[in-house]
Amino acid sequence: MLVSGWLSLANEASRFLHPEQFIFKITDDLIDIRFESMFELSQLRCFVAVAEELHFGRAAERLHMTQPPLSRQVRLLEHQVGTELLERNSRSVKLTAAGRSFLPDAARILRLAEEAAATARRVATGAAGSLAIGFTASVGYGLLPSLVSAVRAASPEVRLTLKEMVSGAQLEALDARQIDVGLLRPPVEHGELIAEPCSQEALVLAVPEAAAADWPQRPTLRDCEGRPLLMYSPYEARYFHQLVSGLLERAGVLPDIVEYVSQIHSMLALVRAGIGAALIPAAASMLHFEGVVYRPVRTTPAKPVELWFAYRKDNDNPAFGALKDVLRGTLAAGR
């Protein structure tokens, strides 16, 4: 919005300028607008005040200045524009045809300049700007909607960008400054990042509806012994593979692993087809796959699925600074 404001201002100003008088340049971190040998905003402000009041005395009072410098500013403006904008005599002031044409555009430039400055101030305080959040697919099932609602309620002018990414891709995106926040699975081992646990979640057992009667209403991991079970890929879904494998091993359970998959929705599709059961994060049960029944499963610890909140130590985005505690609080409330 800040850049677009300056673009609008430059576009309006260019309507009055000869090409050699107007320089507009954008680089990666700089917007350079220069009016060479042309009028200043203060001159426009003086002209607009006189044009609206049609009286130098009232215009000077409105601008909290005396009449002589006000008259000089208007004369300088007319010189720069190259024509008279006001017709003056000892009794009255009125706009020339050029002045009537010039007035609405001059007022628009002043308004755009004020809006651009106000936007810059809001961005500097974090009240406006942008915030990019990376998240794993399973976060989207439960925590993400409440997170988006909290950010919009706290800072409605902040533009939120959501990027679904596996944890490894989030670490790369944080390193490249493509996202401000990563909601990912541990471990997070990166010297430039601050990472902290922000949420814990239980597992549920997803079983084929046709075989639901064969399972207890509240199964334990021991109930998976010898049964067909879908497992997470040790490569594409390393965190969940290590988590579920470790829980089963510590419980002394040896299930019949029938398939390895990386995505939870693919796993549930196989459950629906009767291929086997699956241990999934509780939030994923919100997918409501037809033909799949979800059973709470007892584990130690009760909520073994961890979500971490990660960001760069040197993140200087004001919107992130303003919303960091909102993000943390919302994630903690969803534990």
- At 293, which amino acid appears? V
Q: What percent of the chain has pLDDT over 90?
A: 81
| Peptide linkage before 318 cis (omega within 30 of 0) | no
141 neighbors 286 (Cβ within 8 angstroms) = yes
Cα–Cα dist 8/14, whole Å: 10
Band (41; pLDDT cuts 50, 70, 90): very high
Residue 18 pLDDT greater than 80, yes or no: no
87 neighbors 56 (Cβ within 8 angstroms) = no
Cα–Cα dist 48/119, whole Å: 23
Query: Measuring CA to CA, which residue among 1, 5, 39, 44 is closest to residue 22?
Result: 39
DSSP 296-329: E-B-SSS--EEEEEEEETT---HHHHHHHHHHHH
Tell me the per-residue pLDDT of 244-303, one tens digit each, with 9 for 90 and over. Answer: 999 999 999 999 999 999 999 999 999 999 999 999 999 999 888 999 999 999 999 999
CB contact set of 99 (below 8 Å; sequence gap of 6+): 47, 51, 84, 85, 86, 87
Cα–Cα dist 24/8, whole Å: 12
Q: What is the mean pLDDT of residues 17-21?
A: 46
Q: What is the mean pLDDT of residues 308-313?
A: 96
241 neighbors 234 (Cβ within 8 angstroms) = yes
Neighbours of 93 (CB within 10 A): 19
**Backbone phi, then psi, for 182, in 5-degree steps?**
-120, 130
Tell me the per-residue pLDDT of 113-166, one tens digit each, with 9 for 90 and over. Answer: 999 999 999 999 999 999 999 999 888 888 899 999 999 999 999 999 999 999
Q: What is the pTM of this model?
A: 0.76
Sheet holding 157-164, edge to edge: 157-164, 128-135, 181-184, 305-312, 193-201
pLDDT for position 324: 94
171 neighbors 183 (Cβ within 8 angstroms) = no
pLDDT for position 13: 52
Neighbours of 63 (CB within 10 A): 18
Tell me the per-residue pLDDT of 225-234, one tens digit each, with 9 for 90 and over. Answer: 999 999 999 9
Which domains, and CATH codes, for the chain? Answer: 2-125 (1.10.10.10), 130-199+306-333 (3.40.190.10), 203-302 (3.40.190.10)
131 neighbors 158 (Cβ within 8 angstroms) = yes
